[in-house]
Amino acid sequence: MMLKKHLNVPLKNDAFLIKFLRPCRYHQETAFKMMRRFYKFKAKHPKYGMNITPNAVRIVFDNDVFCFLPTRTSCGARIMIMNIGTKWNPKEVKVEEMFKAIMVAIEIAMLEPKTQLGGVHVIINVEGLSLVHICQFSPHLAKLIIDWVQDCAAVRLNGIHIINQPKIFTMLFQIFKPFLGEKLKKCIVFHGADKKSLTRRISPESLPEHFGGTADIPDYPGSLFSDMLFHYEEMFKEFGVYGYSTDKAKS
C-alpha cells in the first residue's frame, strides 16, 4: 500500500485559474508550480491553511491591526496596512491570528482582477512596537510567514514599506531576516518617520493624511471593514474544499 496525493482544483473555472495565471504573466508552468506550493503549504500546515475564512479572523480586522485602504495606487495596486505596534494588543489578538489574517487578505487580493494586474503594496506601521510584541514571534513562525509570502501567494508584491520603526525594531527584523530571499529583500523599504520617502514610492493621492498623503479617507472602524470582508465568506468556504487530498491506493 502507498499514499497518493491528489490535487483537487476546479480546472474548468476560469476565474480560479486566472488568479494564478495573471500574477505569473500567463506562464502556465510557473502558475502551476505556484498553485502546487499554495496548496502544499495548506496541507502541510493545516493549523494555518485549513478552514480559514474572513469571519474566522474577524478579531484582527475589528481591532484595526490589519486593513485595506479604499484607494489604489496610480498603477492600480492594492494598499494593505498592518499596524503591529500601538494598535496591536497581543492579549486580544494572537500572533497566529495575525498570520491567518495575512493569508485571508492575500487570498482576497488574489481574487480581485485589478490587484491581479496591479499587485500589492504593504505598509507595516510599527509605531509603538515593544518587547511584548516582539516576543510573540518565534523563528519558526517567522519562517512560515516568509515562506507563505514569497513562495505561495500568487500576488505581485510591489513593495513592503516599514514606517515609524523605533530602534527596537532591529530585534524583530533579525528574527525574519535569515528567511528572506533576494527578491523579497529588494521589496523592503525602510521609511522611518519620513512621510515624503513613503509618498515617493506610493502616490500621495492614494494615501491618507497621517501617512503623508492627500486622499480624503474616513477613519472608519475596523468592524466596518470586517463587515465588508464578510462578502467573501461563502467564496472562502467554496474554495476551502480544494487542495491536496491523501488517499490510500494500491501500488
pTM exceeds 0.85 for this model = yes
CA distance 76 to 67: 17
- Give the tens place of pLDDT for each residue, 182-241: 999 999 999 999 999 999 999 999 999 999 999 998 887 778 878 888 888 888 888 888
- All three cell numbers of 9: 482544483
CA distance 178 to 160: 17
Q: Read off the pLDDT band of 3 (50, 70, 90).
A: very low
Q: Which CATH architecture has domain 23-238?
A: 3-Layer(aba) Sandwich (3.40)
Q: Which of 23-37, 41-55, 56-70 shows the lowest mean pLDDT across its residues?
A: 41-55
**For the chain, what are the domain ranges?**
23-238
- Give the tens place of pLDDT for each residue, 52-90: 889 999 999 999 999 999 999 989 999 999 999 999 999
- Give the tens place of pLDDT for each residue, 137-193: 999 999 999 999 999 998 999 999 999 999 999 999 999 999 999 999 999 999 999
pLDDT over 60 (residue 1): no
